[in-house]
Amino acid sequence: MIDLTPFILSFKLATITTVILFIIAVPLAWYLSQSRSKIKPFFEAIFALPIVLPPSVIGFYVIVILAPNSPVGAFLKSHFDIELLFTFWGLVIASIFYSFPFMLQPLQSGFESLKKEMIEASYICGKGFWTTLYKVALPNIKPSIMSGLVITFAHTIGEFGVVLMVGGSIDGKTKVASVAIYEFVETMDYEKAHIYSSIMLLISFLILLFVYRYRVKQ
Amino acid sequence: MIKIDFTKELESFTLDIDFTIKKGEFIAISGDSGSGKSTTLRVIAGLEEAKGEIEVFGKKWLSDKSFLPPQKRNIGFVFQNYSLFENMSVIENILYASNDIEFAKYLLYSVNLYNKKNTLPRNLSGGEQQRVALCRALISKPQLLLLDEPLSSLDSKIKILLQEEIKKLTKEFNTTTILVSHSNAEIQNLASRVFKMHKGQILEQDKIQQDILIGSILEVNSDFTKIIVGDNIIKTATKRGFKLGQTVQLDINIT
């Protein structure tokens, strides 16, 4: 019998990360797409770092930030009695850092591709920033939103290094599917490793198939 | 009265604009490409910053101390390259600016697009899209209507028909209007005054004679020529050399 808990954890982690990242990335992507500031490339480079950094580097810095003796970790412990390392919510925070550019970049390119006059027409029609964003800008970049959501979700499902470093491998709490596969290989239980890997392969393929079919339809 | 007096530094020259418009007046700004015509409209709309003063019927839109954002100016703006919201149908585009559904229907009837009220912009022709943009610009009964080369990307026949629709609607609602255009025919047909711009400066101001009739050639074939004058279409015997869209001065006795 296959234990589905690691898959459920992976899906829960990916869903929460995707939702939080969407909420954070929409206004930021909008700001970056409209900004002509000279320091914009500096911020863009920082936000794109997770694409090129080894997961171990991201994992290391998340540990440094969240450790109980760090300023952030100590603040969370003393004020809210929260410890994030080796917990599910610690994984969520690590995943937000790790998957950030995969949500931000499609949204930013989507906003940049919008006709400037369409946005200006909305202001001329008497509408403010938020109405323009939600009624005009977002509905006109649906393919970019779809790419951002699906790629972020898939990327979070597949993450391994950061998850292992920040969450470890605690059954039912932080042992997601990718970590479970790693453990099966370590213990030479190749049959289970095969089953888990096949399921991950199928899920990843179906997600990508969905994205490409959606693009064709659009 | 609308008073416009501002300066703005552009890449190769300073835009220096100073003129006034009376309520209900239709004026035009002409000039070469890059002379600052469209930027002038954009500053008036609040889409670009500038230094100076803009006062519209007693209310300051721009001064040293204040800047009224475009969403609070109650203006209509028709852009050159159709700027309809692609996710909304024709009627939704118009109602986005004001939820007066009866007036929206009236405007759509006026421009013969009522039967396309549920169509998405991508399924409309260029002329139809500009008509919708015009309806959207007029639905809020704007204090000032700004037209930025609204007909330049349309073919001659549609241009003539749309000119007549613009003329009819702006007269009907006594809308104060500023048109930016390259086309002398358009300006002659629509405006009562024209400002000619060169490198950011208004070089001269002309009154357009209203006592002569200006028509535009609507159709030319072997038997007759159709000329549109105001709301009337006149058929005359064909004369050689007329071109579609050409502006002609008419003998007053013809009507």
In this prediction, residues B56-72 reach a mean pLDDT of: 91
Q: In Å, what is the CA distance from A50 to each residue of A96, A111, B100, B119?
A: 10, 22, 50, 44
What are the two backbone dihedrals, phi and then psi, of residue B37, each rounded to the nearest 5 degrees?
-65, -55
Write out pLDDT tens, residues A153-186: 999 998 899 999 998 889 889 999 999 999 999 9
Quickly state the pLDDT bin for B250 (edges 50, 70, 90). Answer: low
| Of B25, B19, B26, the residue nearest B191 (C-alpha) | B26
Quickly state the pLDDT bin for B11 (edges 50, 70, 90). Answer: confident
Query: How many CB atoms are closer than 10 A to CB B98?
Result: 17
pLDDT at position B232 over 80: no
CB contact A36 to B (< 8 Å): no
- Range of A43's domain? 5-217
CB contact B83 to A (< 8 Å): yes
CB contact A189 to B (< 8 Å): no
The C-alpha angle with vertex B211 and arms to B206 and B215, in degrees rounded to 5, equals 90
Which residues in chain A (107-126) have CB-CB distances under 8 A to chain B?
Answer: 115, 117-118, 120-126
Q: Provide the ipTM.
A: 0.81
How many whole angstroms separate alpha carbon A102 and alpha carbon A120?
28
In this prediction, residues A93-112 reach a mean pLDDT of: 95
Q: How many Cβ contacts (< 8 angstroms) between chains A and B?
A: 60
pLDDT at position A71 over 80: yes
Q: To the nearest whole percent, how much of chain B has pLDDT over 90?
A: 42
pLDDT at position B246 over 80: no
Mean pLDDT, chain B, whole residue set? 85
The answer to whether the Cα torsion of B132, B88, B122, A128 is positive or negative is positive
Out of A117, A128, A139, closest to residue B83 by CB: A117
Tell me, what's the pLDDT at B230?
A: 64
Q: To the nearest whole percent, how much of chain B has pLDDT over 70?
A: 91
Quickly state the pLDDT bin for B231 (edges 50, 70, 90). Answer: low
The domain limits of chain B are: 2-207, 213-254
Query: To the nearest whole angstrom, how far is the Cα of A16 from the nearest Cα of chain B?
Result: 28
Question: Which of B85, B93, B95, B146 would you mutate first to test chain A, the one with the most A CBs within 10 A?
Answer: B85
How many whole angstroms separate alpha carbon A160 and alpha carbon B33?
57
Q: The domain spanning residue A180 has which CATH number?
A: 1.10.3720.10
Out of B69, B72, B86, closest to residue A140 by CB: B86
Q: To the nearest whole percent, how much of chain A has pLDDT over 90?
A: 72
Contact B87 A122 (CB under 8 A): no
How many whole angstroms separate alpha carbon A6 and alpha carbon A12?
10
- Considering only the top CATH level, what class is B2-207? alpha beta
Domain tally for chain A? 1
Quickly state the pLDDT bin for B255 (edges 50, 70, 90). Answer: very low
Tell me, what's the pLDDT at B251?
A: 57
